[in-house]
Amino acid sequence: MKRSETSAGKEKASTEKTTTDAKTAAANLPRYYTVQSGDTLSSISFKMYNSVGYVAELMEANGLGEADDIHEGDQIMIPTVKK
């Protein structure tokens, strides 16, 4: 095997790992959602997680005492959760 082929293979593997690491890091960053008219935490949970089962996580991440404590125009954090 030529030396340049070995270097190219290592460089490709390194680039793929860096890309994967960046995607993982981006996936773990908090996202934000602007509340629309008619939204509830249940509907937002379904939009973001494809499940209504994450209302408690949304409430905790945003310091909400009541599930209906959101209003149109509010920006809420969408936490990363393990499904």
pTM for the full predicted model:
0.65
The helix/strand/coil state of 72 is: coil
Counting the structural domains of the chain, the total is 1
pLDDT at 82: 82
Whether residue 12 is contained in a domain is answered as yes
CB 55 within 8 A of CB 45: yes
Cα–Cα distance between 75 and 83 in angstroms, integer? 23
Domain that holds residue 72: 3-78
Which residue ranges in the chain fall short of pLDDT 70? Answer: 1-29, 83
Q: How far is CA 7 from CA 19, 27, 31, 40, in A?
A: 18, 30, 38, 54
Residue 34 sits in a domain of what CATH number?
3.10.350.10
Name every residue whose Cβ is closer than 8 Å to that of residue 28 and which is 6 or more positions away in sequence.
80
| Residue 83 falls inside a structural domain | no
